[in-house]
Amino acid sequence: MNNYEDKTDDRKETGGMAFARPTSQAPNFEIAWDQQGMTLRDYFAAKAMQGIIPGLMLRQGQPGYSDGEMIAESVALSIDAADCMIAMLKERDKEE
């Protein structure tokens, strides 16, 4: 069993792996080793963060709102958005 297969057990919590691939061999005999990729939850969070950060940057420089607070808020919102997307996928899977 390789790393690609080991990490698929967490699919219920993280949506499984995004961009994972098993070990393969190209026609020129070059070996492409397995890659775990990232979890689907991580991928969704990164995508959500791309839209969240510009909105939060509008608050940059406001009294009492530091860069650290902006980063913490963007991370929390992104993870919440990713969790919602995973929950939507779970619901969709139940309907099918």
What is the SS3 assignment for 71? helix
Q: CA 88, CA 82: separation in Å to the nearest integer?
A: 10
Pick 42 or 24 by higher pLDDT.
Answer: 42
The domain locations on the chain are 3-95
Kindly tell me if the per-residue pLDDT of 22 is higher than 60. Answer: yes
Mean pLDDT on 22-48: 78
Given this model, what pLDDT does residue 85 score?
92
Indicate whether 48 pLDDT > 90: yes
Higher-confidence residue: 38 or 50? 50
pLDDT in tens, 53-72: 888 888 877 787 788 888 89
Contacts of 23 (CB under 8 A, 6+ apart): 2, 4, 31, 32, 33, 34
Assessment of whether the complete model's pTM goes beyond 0.75:
no
